[in-house]
Structure 1
Amino acid sequence: MGILLGGISALAMGGLYWIIHLPASLFMGGDIEGFEQLSTIERFFFPIISTLLLIIMTFIVSPSAQKVGVVFVIERLNNHQGNLPFVNSIVQFFAAAICLAGGLSIGKEGPAVHIGATFGSFLARKAKLPVTSVEVLVACGIAGAISALFQTPLAGVLFALEVVLLEYRLSYILPVLLASVAASLMSGWLLGELVLFSFANIDLPNFSFNVYFACVLLALVIVLFSFSFYRIQKALWLFSHWHFAVRFACVGLITACLGGLFPEVLGSGFDSLSILLDGGTLLTPLFIILLLKLLLTGLCIGLGIPGGMIGPTFLIGGLAGVQVALLVDTGIPFNIAIPLFALIGMSAMMAATFQAPLTALIAIIEITNRSEIMLPAMMVIGLSCLIIRVVFQQQSLFAERLHYMGLESQLSSSVRFLRHHSIDKISAPILLIERYSSVEQVQDLRSTMVDYVAVKHSNDQFKVVRRNQLLKEFETLALGPQSWITERDGEILLDLERMVDFQTIQIVAIPDSLETMLKWFNEHQIEHALIQLPKTKQLEVVEKSKLYHSLLSR
């Protein structure tokens, strides 16, 4: 299933690339980042038309289908056991394609995560898998989509576990790894080799004091931009009660005005970074592009445009790294310092913004196929993540958004324990016996190890009693004849229901986890329930008290 999900996710990402490239092939000579080739009027109308189409599409779909993105995926994983509606992913696919083709300052990663996760959820529901398997397949879809998008299989695995699921589980690794590999291979077959940047000139320098100073300065700059990126979005979340048409129109108008003046801020903006890495110069000062890109991306995401943030954070971090390399005399030739600090800035900005240090480090190494930057990148990533987390008390941007909405970004340890264990952890076999039983049949109960004895009451209900309680009452037979002794067809039998008080208990469908069982107990205010194993048809009893005991003693 993991391999299948990897292939499906790659096909979806291939379709997304095709739709985005369609207007580029018509107006920009096939260059998806070629907004500089357009006239000022064309650059103005691209975002306007894009947001207009987005508003029309959003008017058509229902409000429930408008919920999209990574935050929505995490919320559904935590509160709805990974049940992701398929229609939302369709809305996400076309909304993202419209926005990306129109030059809005968003990335492809948010849509990729949502679409891949939905494929995993859909397949798990069709196969009627337990909750733990749903999470595994959702992670497979996410890893496959990220891997296909950037052709970075290991970063796809780490992103799914570190950013979305927020935990590493050994049982997840193998299927998620296979899904990521399958997606990367399929992406290479569909799209060819994706080369975002060329870093042929980079060499590991001798680290002098100036280089270390520049790395520390870059970490502080990354912290500043990451914190500003979050604060811009948080300020705009206050306007989430505005009608979506007003919010989208504001984004379109502001992007159109800025894009008409500064074409470098339209789209992902990776072409600007590529020009700098090749030793070229930009028409607009670097610092202005950096600030405008930060503001525009924060505006788009903060006002609810359905897009990702990883691509823009890569660009912002890369431009910040170039700016530091130009300002600080590191003693390294510019043709080495600029790509080196651009790479470090890209990885550090992603790591600080999403609190995903391993994902950011591996992603940048896989994108460039260069491992020389690992040590300085780890240094800057570690410093920036530490300062953001400890000094500014800022978590992942996705977690901050969920907290703002009044939701938890991560399940408690108790809920996760209940969700990851099936009912057989606490269920116990039960012995089915006739209501009218012989003395020998009741005596045989002494040699059994079951805790409960049951008699059938109706088609879906049984009456149960503890074995020890039944045997204790049976021992009173030695004192003389009892009222529960009866005769049928010349045979002396014991009426068990008259002998002891049985409790009526209901058979329930086997729940997919202990969490579901606990919710059922609390909803029906019942302390016991019966389940019937599908293969052996064996009845087993489930006690609420035993469920709590397993939770406390884990």
Structure 2
Amino acid sequence: MKHISNKNFVLMLAGLIGLISGIAAVILKESVHFIQHKLHESITLENYLYFTFPLIGILLTVLISKYILKETMGHGITQILYDIAKKSSVIKRTRMYSRMITSALTVGFGGSVGLEAPIVVTGSAIGSNIGKFMHLNYKKRTLLIGCGAAGAISAIFNSPVAGVIFSLEVILADVTIGMFIPLLIASVSGALISLTLLGDDVLFSFKLVDSFTAADTPQYILLGIVCGLVSVYFTRMTYKIEGLIGKVKQVYGKAVVGGILLGIIILVFPPIYGEGYETIKLLLAGKESQIFNRSLFFNNLEDAWMLLAFIFGVILIKPVASALTIGSGGSGGIFAPSLFLGGVTGFLFAAVSNVITWGNVSTSNFTLVGMCGVMSGVLYAPLTAIFLIAEITSGYELFVPLMLVSAIAFSTSSIFEKHSLYTKHLIERGDLIQYDKDRQVLSQINLTKIIEKDLLVIRPEANLEALVDLVRISKRNIFPVVTEGNELVGVVTLDDIRNIMFDLDKRETTPIRAIMHKPPAYVSPHENMQSVMEKFERTGAWNLPVIDNGKYKGFLSKSRIFNTYRTKLIRTNRE
């Protein structure tokens, strides 16, 4: 503190967080592949344990998360965005390791989700807790969360540029020039750890064998539209399936139902087992017939159209499998499923195009570009998708089609879905506000902390004389009319009684019930501030009562909100 400037200190922390996130990514990746290797050694075509593995993984995840970690799994990046928006970028300490443990079990035993979101949660939690330990403010804690995410993505894919851009596009809402250097340092640190410990054995990589041909541009344009539509299907099907399995209230019942259904799906469609990168590698290598291995129903199929029909079935069922895995209590993310779905979509598109003689297009190129398209349409992170595929292919040969398909897929998806799968529910609930500084500051105001409770109350059966006595000692001009059960039945303002309060006869004979009136609107302490301000605007009132479960809690004052807003704005700008 004495010899290092704040700026340099943050740079040092960024490097440290990138290193730790990189180590965490390597441990998670190796753990999952170790579990998968041991399980695969015991699998044969007739071995029905293959059917039970996902169920075992989900049950183990539920047991550990409930009794040891005491956490609820789900979409981890969504939770990170919520913590940034609503919890001042303070992430629970247990998340520095909880998602690593649970996702290793879920994915290792065949859950149809990815490791990227869990490792992003791990890296983000490391950044947040180091920032909290060092007593850094909200802005710097948020930046360190982004550093953890950048380091994690960089390490797991060996893609430092994609790591930085993912942080900027998905995690960090306010992007400034000052954020780039810490993110770059964290991302490079993560990549160096990955290269040192894993070498080329990263989660997914591929060397290009075919070059881009400009004559294929019309097919790439059409692929972009198809990827956008597939992205919408993925998003909506995920929400639908998670909603359906969420109706099973018992935790273990949900895990058993989800695990059994997932096992049945994998039994019919083995490519859906785990992350799916092995299937993508087979498609890229021209060994698509091998994706039937371990299928009890489609083994050794030779017919080309049957292969394409099987792949189409995989596209339809993959979102269901991913949603079942997460919805039933498993731990993982949609990052890998979106890449898998995009790769399979791109391959199917190229294969059909070649069969109907539109031209001899490269199936490997379309597989890679399809991965970029669906990822762009699901995550709403087009730049991340472009640079990720460019980096994992070790070159920018496909940069033009990647940009084209990513832009078209994103635009197509945006027509049907305004928000990404990560942010949709948060934005609809008002828990996340993007690209609106006014609403962002407003959302940081804690409504329960600004409720005014100094107003003097009066009973509805009292008379005007009793109210005049309150006027003498009150500093406010509003008097809530509250029953003995603490229920608000009306309000009386000083303006309501000004013309009769000096009439001695009326003071004795006028009941409060006769002069009170209903407030123009009520506020719940659980409402978001945007909704509260809309009520103030609609009614033109300066004060509104707060009611919780029918009980009177106090009043909200527009002037108090404005003062709090100004304080928050000054503090945010200063930070």
Percent of matched pairs sharing the same residue = 26
2:39 to 17, 24, 27: 27
Asked if 1:272 corresponds to 2:279, the answer is yes
Q: CA deviation at 1:133?
A: 0.7
2:209 to 177, 201, 207: 201
CA gap 1:39/1:145 in 2 versus in 1, 3 angstroms: farther
Q: Which residue of 2 aligns with 1:99?
A: 106
Q: Which residue of 2 aligns with 1:247?
A: 254
Distance 1:117 1:341 in 2: 33
Pairing 1:324-339 to 2, within 5 Å after superposition: 324-329=349-354, 333=360, 337-339=362-364
Pairing 1:30-109 to 2, within 5 Å after superposition: 39-61=46-68, 66=73, 69-109=76-116
Deviations 1:488-514 (A, max 9, x none): xxxxxxxxxxxxxxxxxxxxxxxxxxx
Q: CA deviation at 1:38?
A: 6.0
CA gap 1:37/1:53 in 2 versus in 1, 3 angstroms: same
Q: CA deviation at 1:24?
A: 2.9
Distance 1:349 1:218 in 2: 10
Asked if 1:395 corresponds to 2:402, the answer is no
Q: Which residue of 2 aligns with 1:214?
A: 219
Deviates more, 1:167-176 or 1:292-301: 292-301
CA gap 1:130/1:364 in 2 versus in 1, 3 angstroms: same
Larger radius of gyration: 1
Contact kept, 8 Å, 2:96 with 2:125, in 1: the verdict is: yes
What is the TM-score with the length of structure 1 in the denominator? 0.71
Q: Which residue of 1 aligns with 2:197?
A: 190
The amino acid across from 1:202 in the alignment is: D
CA gap 1:327/1:51 in 2 versus in 1, 3 angstroms: same
Distance 1:73 1:56 in 2: 23
CA gap 1:131/1:38 in 2 versus in 1, 3 angstroms: farther
Distance 2:325 2:387 in 1: 27
Contact kept, 8 Å, 1:234 with 1:302, in 2: the verdict is: no
Distance 1:59 1:355 in 2: 32
Deviates more, 1:290-299 or 1:59-68: 59-68
Q: CA deviation at 1:301?
A: 3.3
Q: Which residue of 2 aligns with 1:281?
A: 288
Pairing 1:325-364 to 2, within 5 Å after superposition: 325-329=350-354, 333=360, 337-364=362-389
Contact kept, 8 Å, 1:48 with 1:252, in 2: the verdict is: yes
Q: CA deviation at 1:110?
A: 1.1
CA gap 1:296/1:65 in 2 versus in 1, 3 angstroms: closer
Q: Which residue of 2 aligns with 1:462?
A: none
CA gap 1:388/1:524 in 2 versus in 1, 3 angstroms: closer
1:407 to 411, 431, 437: 431
Q: CA deviation at 1:61?
A: 3.8
What is the TM-score with the length of structure 2 in the denominator? 0.68
Q: Which residue of 1 aligns with 2:172?
A: 165
Contact kept, 8 Å, 1:78 with 1:410, in 2: the verdict is: no
Q: CA deviation at 1:226?
A: 0.8
Contact kept, 8 Å, 1:199 with 1:339, in 2: the verdict is: no
Asked if 1:114 corresponds to 2:121, the answer is yes
Contact kept, 8 Å, 2:341 with 2:371, in 1: the verdict is: yes
CA gap 1:137/1:551 in 2 versus in 1, 3 angstroms: closer
Asked if 1:378 corresponds to 2:400, the answer is no
Contact kept, 8 Å, 2:239 with 2:323, in 1: the verdict is: no
Q: CA deviation at 1:381?
A: 1.1
1:139 to 135, 146, 156: 146
Contact kept, 8 Å, 2:125 with 2:148, in 1: the verdict is: yes
Uncovered stretches (5+) of structure 2, i.e. residues with no partner: 1-12, 293-297, 299-309, 445-553
Contact kept, 8 Å, 1:89 with 1:118, in 2: the verdict is: yes
1:223 to 222, 228, 248: 228
Q: CA deviation at 1:73?
A: 0.5
Distance 2:566 2:335 in 1: 45
Q: CA deviation at 1:356?
A: 0.6
Asked if 1:5 corresponds to 2:12, the answer is no
Corresponding residue pairs, total: 427
Deviates more, 1:49-58 or 1:172-181: 49-58
Contact kept, 8 Å, 1:233 with 1:302, in 2: the verdict is: no
2:347 to 322, 331, 341: 322
Contact kept, 8 Å, 2:232 with 2:417, in 1: the verdict is: no
The amino acid across from 1:351 in the alignment is: S
Deviations 1:461-482 (A, max 9, x none): xxxxxxxxxxxxxxxxxxxxxx
CA gap 1:524/1:298 in 2 versus in 1, 3 angstroms: closer
Q: Which residue of 1 aligns with 2:523?
A: none
Q: CA deviation at 1:252?
A: 1.0
Contact kept, 8 Å, 2:241 with 2:320, in 1: the verdict is: no
Distance 1:159 1:549 in 2: 27
Contact kept, 8 Å, 1:146 with 1:156, in 2: the verdict is: yes
Deviations 1:427-460 (A, max 9, x none): xxxxxxxxxxxxxxxxxxxxxxxxxxxxxxxxxx
Aligned CA RMSD, in angstroms, stands at: 3.1
Asked if 1:148 corresponds to 2:155, the answer is yes
Q: CA deviation at 1:269?
A: 1.6
Asked if 1:123 corresponds to 2:130, the answer is yes
Distance 1:181 1:125 in 2: 23
Contact kept, 8 Å, 2:61 with 2:331, in 1: the verdict is: no
The amino acid across from 1:171 in the alignment is: G
CA gap 1:546/1:22 in 2 versus in 1, 3 angstroms: closer
Q: CA deviation at 1:363?
A: 0.4
